[in-house]
Structure formats: structure tokens, C-alpha cells
């Protein structure tokens, strides 16, 4: 299942991508078949098989949520401004210091792929919200930046990175 959000509230839309049921609203609906086609069937994913994802339909500023091994994963197409914001942070300010370069794959800085459960107690943070433009967790107020790093609140660590690799500039394999 996947969900997208946009940096612009007026363009915010939701996209549900799953190995089974699907629902989609708005422009993002066109993205569903492309993403869906590349996934193995539900039982195969549940067994932990790698999952391929076509990134081409995901616009700059959008965040798509997919599921792999039952875990939600955010796939964020970062804008140049979001990348710059993540890079210019003084690491001494971070509770869990990591440079932006350690959060993305070399040559693919526009793509941030992180597990979507808040590292406090597991809620799903809201994208493009909070003081740092990344995510805001509505459960207890943790805030993450555009590199998925914890900046404020009770979450102890950054959003973890799942295992993934780029198959091409617009295609990744998770797992």
C-alpha cells in the first residue's frame, strides 16, 4: 500500500498502492499501475522477497508510502530546496548525527527512502509537516527533517534506512 503527499497542500493527494486492493485519488492515480506492475504478488512479498519500485511517477515534493515485509516505507522525492536544507544542518545540532550523504545513495540525493515508523513508539509521522519540513509525528510530537533525521521530540533515533539499491535512475529494489 502506498500513500503520497505533496509539499503543496492544495495539490495534496493520496495514493494507495498494494499488492491487493487499491484506491487512488487525483493525479497520483496514474502512478498506481506503474508501481503495482513491478511488485511480486502479496504472498511473495509477505515471504520477504525483494520489491522493485518505479520512481518515475513520483513528483518532486511527493512522498509515497509502500509496504515491504509488512513494514511501511517512505519514498520521498526531495526538491532541491529540501536537499539543501538537509545538507546545511550543523551535525552538532542533531540528536542522532548523520550527514545527509549517509542518508541517501550517491548520485541519487533527490530520493530519500526510510522506514516510516516513528522511532519513539512506532506511529506513522505526517509528511511535509513540522518545523523542519520533513515529518511530524502526531502521537508525541517528534519532528524529523528532510533527511528523516530526528530533530526534536522523544524519538531517540533517525528514521532507519531499509536495504535498497538503484537498478536505474528511476527504479529501485527494496530488500
Of 30, 80, 101, 140, which one interacts with ligand FES (CB under 6 A)?
140
Q: Kindly give, in sequence order, each residue whose CB lies less than 8 Å from that of residue 148, ignoring residues fewer than 6 positions away.
A: 74, 76, 103, 112, 114, 134, 135, 158, 159
139, 166, 173, 175: which one binds ligand FES (CB under 6 A): 139
- Sheet arrangement for strand 63-68: 4-5, 63-68, 71-77, 111-115
The C-alpha cell at 58 is: 513520483
Shortest spacing between CB 100 and ligand FES, in angstroms: 22
As a whole number of angstroms, the distance between CA 159 and CA 127 comes to: 13
Shortest Å distance, C-beta 149 to ligand FES: 14
From 120, 130, 132, 136, residue interacting with ligand FES (rule: CB under 6 A): 120
Q: Does 156 bind ligand FES (CB under 6 A)?
A: no
Is the Cα dihedral 57, 58, 64, 66 positive or negative?
A: positive
Query: C-beta of 154: minimal distance to ligand FES in Å?
Result: 5
Q: Which is nearest to 105 in space by CA: 61, 68, 55, 153? A: 55
Residue 126 touching ligand FES (CB under 6 A) = no
Query: Shortest distance, CB of residue 16 to ligand FES, whole angstroms?
Result: 23
Smallest Cα–Cα separation from 131: which of 148, 151, 158?
Answer: 151
140 counts as catalytic: yes
In the complex with ligand FES, the residue whose CB is nearer, 46 or 124, is: 124
- Interface with ligand FES, residue 77, by CB under 6 A: no
124 contributes a contact to ligand FES by CB under 6 A: no
Which residues would be at the binding site for ligand FES (CB under 6 A)?
118, 120-123, 137, 139-142, 153-155
Residues involved in catalysis: 140
Amino acid at each position: 500500500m502506498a500513500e503520497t503527499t505533496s509539499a503543496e497542500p492544495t495539490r495534496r493527494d493520496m495514493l494507495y498502492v498494494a499488492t491487493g486492493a487499491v484506491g487512488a485519488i487525483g493525479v497520483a492515480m496514474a502512478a498506481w499501475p506503474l508501481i503495482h506492475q513491478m511488485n511480486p504478488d502479496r504472498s511473495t512479498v509477505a515471504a520477504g522477497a525483494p520489491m522493485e519500485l518505479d520512481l518515475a511517477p513520483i513528483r518532486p515534493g511527493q512522498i509515497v508510502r509502500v509496504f515491504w515485509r509488512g513494514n511501511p516505507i517512505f519514498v520521498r522525492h526531495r526538491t532541491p530546496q529540501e536537499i539543501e536544507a538537509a545538507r546545511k544542518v550543523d551535525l552538532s545540532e542533531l540528536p542522532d548525527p548523520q550527514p545527509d550523504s549517509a542518508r541517501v545513495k550517491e548520485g541519487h540525493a533527490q530520493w530519500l527512502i526510510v522506514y516510516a515508523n516513528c522511532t519513539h513508539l512506532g506511529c506513522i509521522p505526517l509528511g511535509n509537516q513540522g518545523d523542519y519540513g520533513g515529518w511530524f509525528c502526531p502521537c508525541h510530537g517528534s519532528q524529523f527533517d528532510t533527511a528523516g533525521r530526528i530533530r526534536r521530540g522523544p524519538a531517540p533515533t533517525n528514521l532507519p534506512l531499509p536495504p535498497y539499491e538503484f537498478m536505474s535512475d528511476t527504479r529501485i529494489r527494496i530488500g
